[in-house]
Structure 1
Amino acid sequence: MEGRKRTVGWGVLALWVIVIALAAPLAGKLGDVQRDRAVDYLPASADSTQVAKITEQLPGGDSTDLVLVYHREGGLTPADRATAAREVERVAAEHPLTSTPRPVASEDGTTLLYAVTSTEPGSDEKARDAFVNDIRETVSGEVGGPGALATDASEVYESLDGPLLYTTVAVVAVLLIVIYRSPFLWLVPLVVAGVADYLSMAVTYALHQGFDISVSGQSTGVMTILVFGAGTDYALLLVSRYREELRRVPRPYDAMTAALRGCGPAVLASSGTVALGMLCLLAADMNSSRGMGPTAAVGVLCALLAMMTLLPALLVVLGRRVFWPLIPAYGSEQKATRRSLFAAMGSSAGRRPLAVLLAGAAALAALALGALNLPGALKQEDSFTSTPEAVAAMKTLAAAYPEMGTQPITLVAPTAGSSGALETARATEGVAKAERGRSGGGWTEISVIAAHPPQSAEETATIKGLRSALGDGVYVGGPSAEQLDMTETNARDRNIVVPLVLVVVTIVLIALLRSLVAPLILVAAVVAVWGAALGIGGLVFESLFGFEGTDPGLALLSFVFLVALGVDYGIFLMHRMREECLNGTEPGAAALTALRTTGGVIASAGLVLAATFAVLVNMPMAQLAELGFVIAVGVLLDTFLVRTYLVTSASVLLGRRVWWPGPLARKPAATPGSEPARESTPVRV
């Protein structure tokens, strides 16, 4: 019989080998469909999205706009100007340009700029990058502009995959070694997480091919973090329960069966809740946010599948020896050293629950006020944590031409009405120059230069003025319009997605916990954590990290992730608490018991998840760094403050009412010959 059971483990391993073999061709293609152009992040209904799509269909395809910048602090010499003219002539000779570049000198004579536009690369990202890099090799000045910024961003995202994966694996490995104190055990869940990540890449590619979901560097990076973070959390819960069962059950297969039966429902419920929360992003209009939803859900579900099937099979096949040197012997007792800390925390919440609850809530509210200090919307040139050449060029231009626009605002108008659109654009306040561009397919492109610097308040007012004056049927786009559309669309998406996430998560919790009060406590707690984490970000983003702005999508994405992941841990705690109540323990005592028994593994899981998201803080894109910071801080707050003190103290205070209106809310009637259920010790407030 035992041999047959061991065969089941080998059979599961063989099945996973087949799955990975089938997934390999798809996983390897994910990088080919990853897109990080602005149009791939833009809201689907925005003007700037329509401009990007229409200009791709004009003769020559999408245009690449660059600015060649020649600068000398003491003033450009005649030799400098001659060199610039010669190099620009060479660029024009080697590449087809839409117009002859003309020099524009700054008033102080220190800077010369040439605007260069070409349709040679079209909408092909690799061709665009090659075009930009070739010009950089040709000229001695700096190359900036929207095309150069896009190339620098693309190179950064392409460079993320390796460092992000290696750093995440290293962080998880170190934490698992510390947690397990075994030279072998840590490697098993890490390998399984790697397999899950590989599978998630294949599934994401298949979804892109089948349903055309957006795949970006941001979404694939976050997916990897989720697979390793959430997957390791599930592994910690399973291994912890498996270790307990090995002390009670002689055979590993039976111990694993008992462990899956014990923690499987909570893991399934929590991962399902996280996936449903992520899928709420499908309601967003922002293309990047909408693509993030299914990608993140795929990561969580692949991690769940691997940790609930592949990990158990490996552990059963390897047997007890995988825990060496701390092998859990059959019939032995587990030491309670790690639980003593959470017993002390629980007793403090149990002695004065009202004081603990009010103090914790006040602390979270005070931290949330820091969100008022968040910097304004992040500009394109501030998206990098370093200073690539395109950003350096834009800073040079901003200093040399403080009152002039240096990147075009692109209009597309029906050709039949393009003359009127051109005149209206020239008459709009804040427009310095407007020129007719290409025509084709019933559309005409008009290039507008604003009288104010890019992404300034004045230029933003000019864009809004153009849209108002031109009306429907004429679209206003370009880099600055794209940033404006992203900011406005993220604000609208928050009004739709945030309530949807709250409703979905609350309904799932009500179904799982069979209560109205407990789900409301958990949801209120994670919302408070989100506010506090954003507030901490507001206090440190500019002062500590030097971020000049906040990504427009930060509030929405961090909310979805923190609510979903925070409720994840709440389910683990409440599931154990409900189990204790079903066994006859009073809710106050059940809450403290649940904290003592699950506190260690939830703390370990929280540390792992926070550490994996903290990896994003070291990435060279401000958007990723800000998102990683807020989620990591939120997970730590949730693990060590909210879950440990606030939820526990609220449960102690409410007693049976925490399960209202379910059957656990009613005090069981005493049966003849039995003693009434033991009430929890009265507590002081």
Structure 2
Amino acid sequence: MPATRTGPPRHRLAPAGGGGAARWTVTGLLLVAWLVLGVFGAPFLSKLSDVQRNDAASFLPASAEATEVSDLQKRFAERNVLPTVAVFERPSGLTPQDSAAVAARVAALGGVAGLAGSVPAPIPSQDGQAAQVVVPVDGQDGARAGKVAQHVREVVGHDLPDGLSVHVTGPGGYAADLGEVFAGIDGKLLIVTALVVAVILVIVYRSPLLPLAVLVGAGVALALASLVVYPLAKHQIVNLNGQTQGIMLILVFGAGTDYALLMVARYREELSRVGSRWIAMGRAWRASLEPIAASAGTVIAGMLCMLFSDLGSNKGLGPIAAIGIAAALLSALTFLPAALVLCGRSAFWPFRPELRPEDEAAGPRTLWARVSHLVGRRPRATWLVTALVLLTAAVFVPQLKADGVANHDVFLQRADAVTGQEVLSRHFPGGIGTPAVIVAKTDAAPQVLDAAKKTDGIADVVITPENPADPGTPKTVDGLVEMTATLRASADSEEAIDTVRHLRDAVHAVPGADAKVGGETANQLDVRDTALRDRTVIIPIVLVVIFVLLALLLRAILAPLLLIATVVLSFGATLGVAALVFNHVFHFPGSDPSVPLYAFVFLVALGIDYNIFLMTRVREEAMTKGTREGTLHGLSVTGGVITSAGVVLAATFAALSVLPILFMAQIAFLVAFGVLLDTLVVRSLLVPALSVDVGRRIWWPSRLGRNR
């Protein structure tokens, strides 16, 4: 940031000046344009749930074995099927009335639109207590398939005899439950987030008008983002699921509020120096542009690194989150300044900033001035002790169980698909209705069949017949044959995943068979393996990209290295604390392999934000005061606004916990705790103490690092 300023020197009071008619007209038109855009784009937020794809298969890359099998299956069947299992149960034994009711429900299913074929007859259990019906839902359109499965649940549950229960499970049942969870994401999550942000802003600003302006700015930004994302998701240019939609909403509100806090703080500061609202806003806008744009650019770049992922869900998150941040940035730099300048000092009512010379502006000694004094008095001891505490917390990282969880552990509340799977496992082989699928060359079919049957955990293997009425004649297509292997364990369990691993090893070893194993359990296995690969690839890319951006912003190399090191240390400490909390407080069964990756991208990209807010001000002050005094002054004047921004962002991410999904609850805790750690410890103590201790060399190799 240059040391020179436009307008009158700081120690002089500028005239109040009201601005010309053109200024008022342009500003008013800008506000009206944003509001019209918000009204037009708002309906698209609710439409996003219509283009979500929450099925596991849509996450996989084309190179995954499960995806290859899914493509080969299309040669054997005209339509892609999403198995949806309805299981009826009466613990005392099914009665003739029950059997008649089940048959009536099967007949009613024939009228359900969106099925991939006729519904087969019910299969009774050997103990006589249950019957299952495998409903072939058309899985070509993932978003529609989930809604069809919901309709199936309604149909089979209608008008049953007392004591006869029914649950819908299988891949279709889980898709229906996920669809129900995420269906109201634009309602419940939006309301909770807006209320949390409003309460915090009222406490921070002690004004009813400023929170309203900030919330409206975040709202129009969200409308703009939804307007852009909807057609991209509808035409499957990007992959949108419920998790991604929730994260986009949180990012727009959280980041938009952060940028607003920085802009408002600088505007208030300038209003205490000049009488003209236009001059004050011009100075505030120019001073805030670089840190806000750099912050948004860093987050956007970090999110776009997800495009290097092989998982469709991660690839979709990258551009969708980037669009949300870009919308928040645009609103913060246009809508908010227009609203603030129109309101003038009245925006801060009832505590309007008073016009006073700078030598009177410091006022009484603040909390952050005292923190600054502490850092300046013992910088080396401060950063050493802080780093030691963070390292101690990071020691517990190996205790984080992030190797995947079963489908029934995904929900934090009882889901019908989970209950159905338990009922199914009590009366049938656990994998019935959701078999593993084997595709191999016809010539090697007997050897593949034999190898599959000998695999531990396989209950039965059958070859798909040409005609169901004549099971002795296999169906062959292009020299390939299809087999289905029923697993003994529940299809979404760890035992089933291990069985599929062994099954793949067994059939792959058959010479000349070119056998491949797919199906729902194989989908889960490949999603986990791909997520582990993504962590290894994307984390280094994010670090390199953010380092380059920081080096360009700070015109230095050493400072970016130190900043990234502090944020990585903070990330490690956050994972360590999360491991203890997840295992011993919440008793979570584990974590998805993508959880550490998401946490890393969010915490590094967002955590570096607060260092950017701090260090851009420090650099600005260091050009006239020197590095030591510039660091301490920068900490004291930015402490309040950055802390408020961190609290707001942590609170918005914590709002994700209202969705009863394990992944969302864990991301909510990780990001909320990590952001508070970055804001209150790393940015407040570790970074400024390091800057003071290293001195002007922190700006190496720029001129600022060489000159006293």
TM-score, L = length of structure 1 = 0.90
Q: Hey, what does 1:431 align to over in structure 2?
A: 458
Q: For residues 12 and 477 of structure 1, do their structure 2 counterparts lie closer, same or farther at Cα, with a shift above 3 Å needed? A: same
Residue by residue over 1:596-640, the C-alpha shift from the partner in whole angstroms, topping out at 9 and shown as x without a partner, is: 011110000000000000001221111111111100100000000
Q: Hey, what does 1:132 align to over in structure 2?
A: 153
Q: Hey, what does 1:141 align to over in structure 2?
A: 165
Q: For residues 120 and 146 of structure 1, do their structure 2 counterparts lie closer, same or farther at Cα, with a shift above 3 Å needed? A: closer
Give the one of 50, 60, 68 matched to 1:42. 60
Residue identity in the other structure for 2:379? P
Shifted more, 655-664 versus 48-57: the winner is 48-57
SS in 2 for 1:541: helix
CA–CA distance in 2 between the matches of 1:369 and 1:56?
49
SS in 1 for 2:483: strand
CA contact (8 A) 1:409 1:477 kept: no
Give the one of 86, 93, 117 matched to 2:100. 86
Q: Hey, what does 2:335 align to over in structure 1?
A: 310
> Does residue 461 of the first structure (1) align with residue 498 of the second (2)?
yes
Give the one of 189, 192, 203 matched to 2:217. 192
SS in 2 for 1:186: helix
CA–CA distance in 2 between the matches of 1:575 and 1:322?
27
Q: Hey, what does 1:112 align to over in structure 2?
A: 130
The alpha-carbon deviation at position 305 of structure 1 amounts to: 0.1
Q: Hey, what does 2:522 align to over in structure 1?
A: 481
Give the one of 619, 626, 642 matched to 1:578. 619
CA contact (8 A) 2:56 2:527 kept: no
SS in 1 for 2:585: coil
SS in 2 for 1:656: helix
Alignment of 1:289-300 (within 5 A): 289-300=314-325
CA contact (8 A) 1:39 1:49 kept: yes
CA contact (8 A) 2:45 2:186 kept: no
The alpha-carbon deviation at position 320 of structure 1 amounts to: 1.8
The alpha-carbon deviation at position 354 of structure 1 amounts to: 2.2
CA–CA distance in 1 between the matches of 2:157 and 2:138?
16
Alignment of 1:316-395 (within 5 A): 316-331=341-356, 340-375=366-401, 376-395=403-422
Q: Hey, what does 1:675 align to over in structure 2?
A: none
The alpha-carbon deviation at position 365 of structure 1 amounts to: 1.8
Residue identity in the other structure for 2:434? P
CA–CA distance in 2 between the matches of 1:441 and 1:202?
44
Alignment of 1:501-520 (within 5 A): 501-520=542-561
SS in 2 for 1:39: helix
Residue by residue over 1:329-357, the C-alpha shift from the partner in whole angstroms, topping out at 9 and shown as x without a partner, is: 33377876797212222222222222222
Shifted more, 356-365 versus 182-191: the winner is 356-365
CA–CA distance in 2 between the matches of 1:339 and 1:210?
57
Residue by residue over 1:92-133, the C-alpha shift from the partner in whole angstroms, topping out at 9 and shown as x without a partner, is: 333365643322346xx8x53525242467643222321233
SS in 1 for 2:341: helix
Q: For residues 648 and 122 of structure 1, do their structure 2 counterparts lie closer, same or farther at Cα, with a shift above 3 Å needed? A: closer
TM-score, L = length of structure 2 = 0.87
Q: Hey, what does 1:628 align to over in structure 2?
A: 668
Alignment of 1:256-267 (within 5 A): 256-267=281-292
> Does residue 77 of the first structure (1) align with residue 92 of the second (2)?
yes
CA–CA distance in 2 between the matches of 1:338 and 1:237?
22
The alpha-carbon deviation at position 575 of structure 1 amounts to: 0.5
CA–CA distance in 2 between the matches of 1:406 and 1:351?
69
Residue by residue over 1:402-424, the C-alpha shift from the partner in whole angstroms, topping out at 9 and shown as x without a partner, is: x8545533315267468444444
Q: Hey, what does 1:282 align to over in structure 2?
A: 307
CA contact (8 A) 2:88 2:131 kept: yes
The alpha-carbon deviation at position 25 of structure 1 amounts to: 7.2
Residue identity in the other structure for 2:306? L
The alpha-carbon deviation at position 175 of structure 1 amounts to: 0.6
Q: Give % identity.
A: 39
Structure 1, gaps ≥5 residues long = 669-685
SS in 2 for 1:65: strand
Q: Hey, what does 1:673 align to over in structure 2?
A: none
SS in 1 for 2:208: coil
Shifted more, 389-398 versus 167-176: the winner is 389-398
Q: Hey, what does 2:682 align to over in structure 1?
A: 642
The alpha-carbon deviation at position 209 of structure 1 amounts to: 5.5
CA contact (8 A) 1:346 1:592 kept: yes
Residue by residue over 1:632-662, the C-alpha shift from the partner in whole angstroms, topping out at 9 and shown as x without a partner, is: 1000000001111111111111111211121
Q: Hey, what does 1:8 align to over in structure 2?
A: 26
Q: For residues 457 and 198 of structure 1, do their structure 2 counterparts lie closer, same or farther at Cα, with a shift above 3 Å needed? A: closer
Q: Hey, what does 1:162 align to over in structure 2?
A: 187
CA contact (8 A) 2:38 2:219 kept: no
CA–CA distance in 2 between the matches of 1:544 and 1:163?
26
Residue by residue over 1:263-307, the C-alpha shift from the partner in whole angstroms, topping out at 9 and shown as x without a partner, is: 111111111111001100000001101100001111111000011
Residue identity in the other structure for 1:389? D
CA–CA distance in 2 between the matches of 1:50 and 1:136?
36
Give the one of 649, 663, 666 matched to 1:609. 649
Q: Hey, what does 1:676 align to over in structure 2?
A: none
SS in 2 for 1:248: coil
Residue identity in the other structure for 1:129? Q
SS in 2 for 1:118: strand
The alpha-carbon deviation at position 323 of structure 1 amounts to: 1.3
Give the one of 230, 251, 254 matched to 1:205. 230
SS in 2 for 1:276: helix
Q: For residues 378 and 336 of structure 1, do their structure 2 counterparts lie closer, same or farther at Cα, with a shift above 3 Å needed? A: farther
Residue identity in the other structure for 2:121? T
Q: For residues 457 and 382 of structure 1, do their structure 2 counterparts lie closer, same or farther at Cα, with a shift above 3 Å needed? A: closer
Q: Hey, what does 2:50 align to over in structure 1?
A: 32
CA–CA distance in 2 between the matches of 1:534 and 1:412?
39
CA–CA distance in 2 between the matches of 1:240 and 1:649?
24
SS in 2 for 1:137: coil
Q: Hey, what does 1:682 align to over in structure 2?
A: none
Q: Hey, what does 2:13 align to over in structure 1?
A: none
The alpha-carbon deviation at position 564 of structure 1 amounts to: 0.4
CA–CA distance in 2 between the matches of 1:46 and 1:477?
9
The alpha-carbon deviation at position 160 of structure 1 amounts to: 2.1
Residue identity in the other structure for 1:131? V
The alpha-carbon deviation at position 223 of structure 1 amounts to: 0.5
CA contact (8 A) 1:44 1:287 kept: no
Q: Hey, what does 1:446 align to over in structure 2?
A: 483
Q: For residues 93 and 11 of structure 1, do their structure 2 counterparts lie closer, same or farther at Cα, with a shift above 3 Å needed? A: closer
